[in-house]
C-alpha cells in the first residue's frame, strides 16, 4: 500500500484480533500483521460467562 | 474459604506429596473390596454393553487368568448375568493404562504418598503391542501374564524391600531433565528405575531370574509408566475433596467416555464421549482400526507430565507426530488452563519453569483450551494390541458440566 493510497498518515502495522480473514487481506497488500490468538470468553456463551462472572466474585 | 484459597490448599497438598514405590502385592490384599469376580477398569464407570473391544478382550483374559472362565463366551455370560462386579479403579485408589483391568489375584504396584499416608495401586506394565491391557489374551499373552505374576512380581517385591522403596518423584524430576515427558517417552526414567533396582534384583534372586527381570523391564521400555501413574494418582488424591476447589484431580477414559473429577465436587465424574486420536500408526494400521481414547494414563497430564511437559521432550514427537516447536507450544498452551507450576518437575527448555500444574475448570471453560493428552492408540478389535500413538484432547463438555455443577453446588 503506497502512502498516496492509504487513508492513514504513515506506515501501518497491525495487530488483528478476531477473524483472521482481515489479517489475510492486509497481508496480501504487504501490510505487516500479527494475528492474535483470541476467542471470546467461554466461546461467547452467555450462560457460561455469567457463571464465570459469579465465580470471579467468589475468588 | 474462597475459590483461590481452596485451590491453594489443594495445590499445596499436591506439591507437598511424595511417591515412593514400596512394594508389589496381590490386588485382593491391598485394594478395598476386591472379592471374587470383582473387575476394576480404567476410566469412569460403565456397563459391559458399553465396553469397547479392547476392554472386553482384557476382561476375557483376566477372567481366564483368574480361572473364572475358559472362553470368551463364558465371560460374556458372567458379565451379562451380573456375576462380574465392575467398578472404576479410581474409586479404589487404583489405576491402569488402556483398559486397566485389575482382578483379585493380579499383582499390583504399591506406591505411597508418605506425607499424607495414601497408598495407590497400579497394574504391572506388560510391554508394547499384543498385551492384555489392549485386549489381547492368546496363549503367548497369558503365559507372559503368569510369568509376571508368579516370578517377576515376587522378585520385584523382594528387591523393593531390600532397597527400602524407590523414590519415584525424584526419578520423574530427573528424567524430565533428560528428555522424557513420562507418558509416551520414558527412555530416561525407565533406565533410572533399572539403575535403582538392578543391584537389589541380583541380591534377592538367582542370576537367571535377575537377568530375566532386567531384560523384561529394559525391553518393555515403559515399565515405569504404571508406577508413575500410581504415584501421580496418590498426589492428586491428596488434593481431592477440598470444598470450594475448582482444580481437576483426575482425567480418565474408558474407550466409551472421557471423564474428569474435580477436587471440590467429591467423587462425581463429568463425562463426554471418548474422543478419537490424531496420531501416527504402526505399519499396516490406520484411523479406521483405532478405538476411541482409552485408559487412566491421562493422570500423568493431570499432574503436569505427558503433553504438559512436552516442551522438555522434543524427541517424543517422533513417536506421536508433530515438531519440536509444536512440543514447546503445547506445553505453553497448557499454562493457559493451569493455575500453578510444579515446584519439583522442571522443564529445561523453558528456563527450568515448573511444569504446568492445577487444571482449573474455570480456565478451561473461559479459554476453550482443553487438556491435550499424549496417548497410545488401541486397535478396536480385541486381541490385536497397540497400533499407534498420538494426541487427543479431553472434550470441553466435561468441563462445562463440571462448572455448572460447581456453581449449582455452591449456590
Specify the CATH number for the domain of residue B147: 3.90.1710.10
pLDDT at B116: 98
Structure-derived torsion over alpha carbons of residues B109, B110, B114, B115, reported in degrees to the nearest 10: 80
Reported as type and span, the H/E element at residue B40 is strand B38-41
What ipTM, to 2 d.p.?
Answer: 0.85
Sequential DSSP letters for B156-176: HHHHHHHHT-EEHHHHHHHHH
Domain boundaries, chain A: 14-57
Say how far apart CA B292 and CA B297 lie, in whole Å.
Answer: 14
Residue A48 at interface with chain B, using a CB cutoff of 8 Å:
yes
Q: Is the domain of B280 the same as that of B152?
A: no
pLDDT at A1: 54
pTM for the predicted model, two decimal places: 0.94
Q: Is the domain of B251 the same as that of B213?
A: no
Q: Is the domain of B183 the same as that of B289?
A: no
- Most B CBs within 10 Å, among A48, A50, A56, to test the B interface: A48
Say how far apart CA B84 and CA B219 lie, in whole Å.
Answer: 34
Residue B146 lies in a domain: yes
Give mean pLDDT in consecutive 10-residue pieces for chain B, a chain of 411 residues: 96 98 98 97 98 96 97 97 98 97 98 98 92 92 96 98 98 98 97 97 97 97 97 98 98 98 97 95 94 97 98 91 92 98 98 98 97 93 86 97 94 75
Interface contact A55-B365, CB threshold 8 A: no
> What 3 state SS string does B326-387 have?
HHHHHHHHHHHHEEEEEEEEEEHHHCCEEEEEEEEHHHHHHHCCCCEEEEEEEECCCCCCEE
Q: Is the domain of B252 the same as that of B218?
A: no
Residue A6 confidence class, pLDDT cut points 50, 70, 90: low
pLDDT at B169: 98
Q: Is the domain of B163 the same as that of B263?
A: no
Interface contact A59-B366, CB threshold 8 A: no
Residue after which a domain boundary falls, among B230, B256, B289: B230
Specify the CATH number for the domain of residue B311: 3.90.1700.10
Residue B237 lies in a domain: no
Location of C-alpha cell 533410572: B192
Q: Do B384 and B268 contact (CB within 8 A), yes or no?
A: no
Residue after which a domain boundary falls, among B230, B258, B288: B230
Residue span of the structural domain in which B211 resides: 18-230
The answer on pLDDT for A9 being more than 70 is no
Q: Is the domain of B176 the same as that of B64?
A: yes
Q: Is the domain of B195 the same as that of B306?
A: no
Interface contact B400-A59, CB threshold 8 A: no
Cα B200–B223–B218 angle (5° rounding)?
A: 65
Q: Is the domain of B197 the same as that of B303?
A: no
Interface contact B403-A54, CB threshold 8 A: no
Residues of chain B positioned with their CB less than 8 A from the CB of A41 = 366-367
The answer on pLDDT for A14 being more than 90 is yes
Say how far apart CA B266 and CA B242 lie, in whole Å.
Answer: 8
Say how far apart CA B398 and CA B273 lie, in whole Å.
Answer: 9
Residue after which a domain boundary falls, among B167, B195, B230: B230
Reported as type and span, the H/E element at residue B392 is strand B386-393
pLDDT at B78: 98
- For residue B124, the distance in angstroms to the closest alpha carbon of chain A comes to 41
The answer on pLDDT for A2 being more than 90 is no
Structural domains in chain B (count): 2
Residues of B at the A interface, defined by Cβ within 8 angstroms: 2-4, 246, 362, 365-368, 400, 403-404, 406-407, 410
- For residue A38, the distance in angstroms to the closest alpha carbon of chain B comes to 9
Average pLDDT, chain A: 87
Amino acid at each position: 500500500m503506497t502512502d498516496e493510497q492509504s487513508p492513514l498518515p504513515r506506515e501501518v502495522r497491525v495487530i488483528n484480533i478476531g477473524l483472521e480473514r482481515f489479517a489475510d487481506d492486509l497481508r496480501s497488500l504487504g501490510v505487516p500483521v500479527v494475528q492474535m490468538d483470541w476467542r471470546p470468553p467461554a466461546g461467547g456463551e452467555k450462560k457460561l460467562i455469567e457463571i464465570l462472572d459469579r465465580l470471579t466474585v467468589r475468588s | 474459604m474462597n475459590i483461590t484459597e481452596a485451590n491453594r490448599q489443594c495445590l499445596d497438598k499436591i506439591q507437598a506429596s511424595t511417591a515412593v514405590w514400596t512394594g508389589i502385592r496381590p490386588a485382593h490384599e491391598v485394594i478395598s473390596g476386591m472379592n471374587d469376580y470383582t473387575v476394576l477398569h480404567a476410566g469412569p464407570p460403565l456397563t459391559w454393553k458399553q465396553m469397547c473391544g479392547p476392554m472386553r478382550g482384557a476382561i476375557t483374559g483376566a477372567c481366564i487368568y483368574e480361572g473364572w472362565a475358559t472362553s470368551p463366551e463364558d465371560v460374556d455370560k458372567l458379565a451379562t448375568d451380573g456375576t462380574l462386579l465392575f467398578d472404576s479403579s479410581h474409586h479404589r485408589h487404583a489405576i491402569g493404562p488402556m483398559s486397566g483391568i485389575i482382578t483379585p489375584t493380579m499383582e499390583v504396584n504399591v506406591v505411597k504418598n508418605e506425607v499424607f499416608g495414601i497408598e495407590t495401586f497400579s497394574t504391572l506394565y506388560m510391554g508394547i503391542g499384543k498385551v492384555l491391557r489392549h485386549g489381547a489374551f492368546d496363549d503367548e499373552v497369558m503365559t507372559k501374564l503368569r510369568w509376571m505374576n508368579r516370578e517377576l512380581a515376587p522378585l520385584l517385591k523382594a528387591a523393593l524391600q531390600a532397597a527400602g522403596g524407590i523414590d519415584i518423584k525424584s526419578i520423574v524430576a530427573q528424567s524430565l531433565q533428560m528428555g522424557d515427558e513420562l507418558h509416551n517417552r520414558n527412555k530416561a526414567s525407565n533406565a533410572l528405575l533399572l539403575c535403582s533396582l538392578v543391584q537389589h534384583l541380583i541380591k534377592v534372586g538367582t542370576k537367571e531370574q535377575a537377568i530375566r527381570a532386567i531384560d523384561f523391564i529394559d525391553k518393555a521400555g515403559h515399565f515405569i509408566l504404571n508406577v508413575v501413574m500410581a504415584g501421580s494418582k496418590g498426589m492428586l488424591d491428596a488434593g481431592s475433596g477440598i470444598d470450594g476447589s475448582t482444580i481437576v484431580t483426575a482425567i480418565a477414559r474408558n474407550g466409551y467416555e472421557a471423564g474428569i473429577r474435580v477436587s471440590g465436587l467429591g467423587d462425581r465424574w463429568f463425562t463426554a464421549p471418548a474422543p478419537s486420536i490424531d496420531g501416527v500408526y504402526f505399519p499396516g494400521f490406520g484411523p479406521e482400526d483405532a478405538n476411541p481414547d482409552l485408559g487412566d494414563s491421562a493422570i500423568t497430564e493431570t499432574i503436569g507430565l505427558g503433553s504438559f511437559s512436552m516442551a522438555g521432550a522434543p524427541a517424543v514427537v517422533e513417536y506421536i507426530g508433530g515438531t519440536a516447536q509444536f512440543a514447546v507450544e503445547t506445553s505453553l498452551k497448557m499454562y493457559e488452563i493451569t493455575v500453578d507450576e510444579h515446584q519439583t518437575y522442571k522443564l529445561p527448555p523453558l528456563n527450568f519453569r515448573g511444569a504446568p500444574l492445577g487444571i482449573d475448570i474455570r480456565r478451561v471453560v473461559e479459554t476453550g483450551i482443553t487438556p491435550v493428552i499424549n496417548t497410545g492408540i488401541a486397535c478396536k478389535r480385541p486381541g490385536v494390541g497397540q497400533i499407534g500413538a498420538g494426541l487427543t484432547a479431553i472434550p470441553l463438555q466435561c468441563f462445562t458440566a463440571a462448572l455448572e455443577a460447581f456453581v449449582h453446588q455452591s449456590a
